[in-house]
Structure 1
Amino acid sequence: MRKVLLLSIAGMFVLTSCVSKKEHMALKEKYNESQDLLNSATVKLNSCLSDKAAAQARVETMKDQLADLRKANQDLIDTKGNLTTLTQKGAENLEKSLESLKEKDLKISRLQDALNKKDSVTLAIVSSLKKAVGIDDPDIEVNVEKGVVFISIADKLLFKSGSYTVTEEAKTVLGKVAKVINSKPNFEAMVEAHTDNVPYQKGVLLDNWDLSVKRATSVVRVLEELEVNPQQLVAAGRSYHVPLVENDTAENRAKNRRTRIVVMPKIDQFYEMIEEEMKNLSASN
């Protein structure tokens, strides 16, 4: 062991003695240069590592952005699909609505045609009544209101003051009315009697209600005697509650004392007329 140690020490002296000072300085300079290069490389390496980390962070951010963009794109595709579906459903609903409107318009048109036909029949009745009753008489008025024929006869032609007995002269007028009613077996004739507002205090009748009803039934009985089908007749009293004008003068009260004969289709006959007309129109389309 001592021999080895001695040999090592001896070798060191030999080596030291073999390297000159000049060479030692050159080696030191190279060492310093290498150290500088190492330091510079370390700085660059650290910078590269920092840039790499920043680049990786940007890559992750871009990945997230890309994922968001892909999701947004898929959402747009889904929304487009939903909108397409909604548009299709909307178009179908609109088409159904238009079809429904067309059907309603057709029904309205058919109903209007039926009403026009009914009005035509009514106008024909008016023409017949005007010819039969004698419209030139100022105390007899024939007109149409809301598709119904009204024959208004002044009180003085039918009854004496305060009476509900039909005069003989009035039977001539009622005979003409009866003839027209008999020509329309599918129609009804409502006799509607009106009074003025002067209180009625004669005989067994209580008031103007009683008087108006008794006058209506009296006219109905005369029409029945003239062979009008009683199933077509209706008697109605209105007292003084539906005046034409104010009951403030003798002239106005005379206007309000009247009897109207309302000629109109029976309700069931009217609806049958409409249904038949609609069937005819449907068959022709």
Structure 2
Amino acid sequence: MRKTLSVPVMVVCAALSLSSCVAKRHLVNAENNIQRLQMDSTQMSARINTLEQNVSRMEASIRDLEANRTSLQQQLSATRQEASSRLQDASTRLNLSAAQIADQQKRLEYMQQLIEQQRRATQELRKKVSDALGNFNTEELTVSTKNGKVYVSLQENLLFPSGSAVVNPKGRQALGTLAGVLNSNPEINVLIEGHTDSIPMRGRFADNWELSTARANAIVRILTDTYKVEPTRVTASGRAWYDPVDTNLTTQGRAKNRRTEIILEPRLDQLMELIRYGEEGTAGQ
């Protein structure tokens, strides 16, 4: 009977011992799992922190990029406005320059027309004077053009006795003929220049300056008082022997130098006004 009872007890004890071992193993496994889960949780938290830091940096970068984009847009807008303003200014200047060029071209063309008119007027005047004085020979007077002017050169033997400023009758006749041309062409200015040779004066005149000026004045008096040429058109001057046309070393040369030149110049009022306007316009730019 005792042997029969001991076997079940042994079985129960064995079962209890086995059960205790199984529970302990489960407990150890559970603890290990908990430790792994805790480690995983720690690692996950670290990764989350890292990701959050990355996100923060990316958000900061995005804000910087947005700020840069805004700044660039503002700079681009300002640049466009400045470029547009400069383009408008350049366009305005270009249009103004084109208008100025066109105006200059018109004035140049008009000036060329005036110059051509003056040239034709000078040639016509020369022909009128030459035709009017055709009865006088070349030893007495010559008619030529120079620098847009008509030069009537009258030799001393036609106008004056030697050393005198009194015009002789033939000289008066020549001056009367010339005055007729001047009175029919009131737009002509008249300059009378007296010239001598280099031989010093002896007599009533102090020197060649005085003689040349007296002769020019005498001709002015005849033209204005006797033949009624408008005095405002006439100017007298004496050049003495300082503007010779030939040498003063020979008799023939000195004879050519003793002359009176009547210089006829068409008025250039329109041309001078156009030039003055151009200079004022240029200075005002």
TM-score bracket for the superposition, by shorter chain length: 0.7 to 0.9
**Using a 3 Å threshold, how does the CA distance of structure 1 residues 43 and 136 change in structure 2: closer, same or farther?**
farther
Task: Quote the Cα distance in structure 1 between the aligned partners of 2:247 and 2:33.
Answer: 133
Partner of 1:152: 153
Task: Quote the Cα distance in structure 1 between the aligned partners of 2:238 and 2:226.
Answer: 21
Q: For structure 1, which runs of at least 5 residues remain unmatched after alignment?
A: 1-16, 276-285
Partner of 2:183: 182
Partner of 2:63: 63
Task: Quote the Cα distance in structure 1 between the aligned partners of 2:219 and 2:25.
Answer: 156
Q: Give how far 1:195 is off.
A: 1.6
1:30 maps to a residue whose letter is A
Q: Is the 8 A contact 1:149 1:263 kept in 2?
A: yes
Aligned length: 256
Partner of 1:241: 242
1:232-257 per-residue CA deviation (whole Å, 9 max, x = no partner) reads 44322122233335645544433332
1:109-150 per-residue CA deviation (whole Å, 9 max, x = no partner) reads 334434433433222111111112238625533223333221
Partner of 2:116: 116
1:163 maps to a residue whose letter is S
Partner of 1:79: 79
Q: Tell me the secondary structure at the aligned position of residue 20 of structure 1.
A: helix
Partner of 2:254: 253
Partner of 1:227: 227
Q: Tell me the secondary structure at the aligned position of residue 124 of structure 1.
A: helix
Task: Quote the Cα distance in structure 1 between the aligned partners of 2:109 and 2:255.
Answer: 44
Equivalent runs, 1:1-285 vs 2, <5 Å: 20-134=20-134, 137=138, 139-200=140-201, 202-223=202-223, 227-229=227-229, 231=231, 232-245=233-246, 247-265=248-266, 270-271=269-270
Aligned-pair identity in percent equals 27
Select between 109-118 and 254-263 the one with higher mean Cα deviation: 109-118
2:110 maps to a residue whose letter is R
Return the TM-score normalized by structure 2: 0.74
Q: Is the 8 A contact 1:196 1:254 kept in 2?
A: yes
1:179-226 per-residue CA deviation (whole Å, 9 max, x = no partner) reads 3223223433322111223322x2231111101011112333444576
Q: Is the 8 A contact 1:111 1:274 kept in 2?
A: no
Task: Quote the Cα distance in structure 2 between the aligned partners of 1:151 and 1:64.
Answer: 93
2:215 maps to a residue whose letter is R
Q: Is the 8 A contact 1:114 1:274 kept in 2?
A: no
Task: Quote the Cα distance in structure 1 between the aligned partners of 2:250 and 2:57.
Answer: 107
Task: Quote the Cα distance in structure 2 between the aligned partners of 1:245 and 1:26.
Answer: 148
Could you say what the CA RMSD is over the residues aligned between the two structures, in angstroms?
3.3
**Using a 3 Å threshold, how does the CA distance of structure 1 residues 100 and 266 change in structure 2: closer, same or farther?**
closer
Task: Quote the Cα distance in structure 2 between the aligned partners of 1:228 and 1:145.
Answer: 27
Q: Tell me the secondary structure at the aligned position of residue 185 of structure 1.
A: coil
Q: Give how far 1:27 is off.
A: 0.9
Q: Is the 8 A contact 2:165 2:214 kept in 1?
A: yes
Q: Is the 8 A contact 1:193 1:215 kept in 2?
A: yes
Q: Give how far 1:169 is off.
A: 3.9
Return the TM-score normalized by structure 1: 0.74
Task: Quote the Cα distance in structure 2 between the aligned partners of 1:35 and 1:230.
Answer: 134
1:184 maps to a residue whose letter is N
Q: For structure 2, which runs of at least 5 residues remain unmatched after alignment?
A: 1-16, 275-285
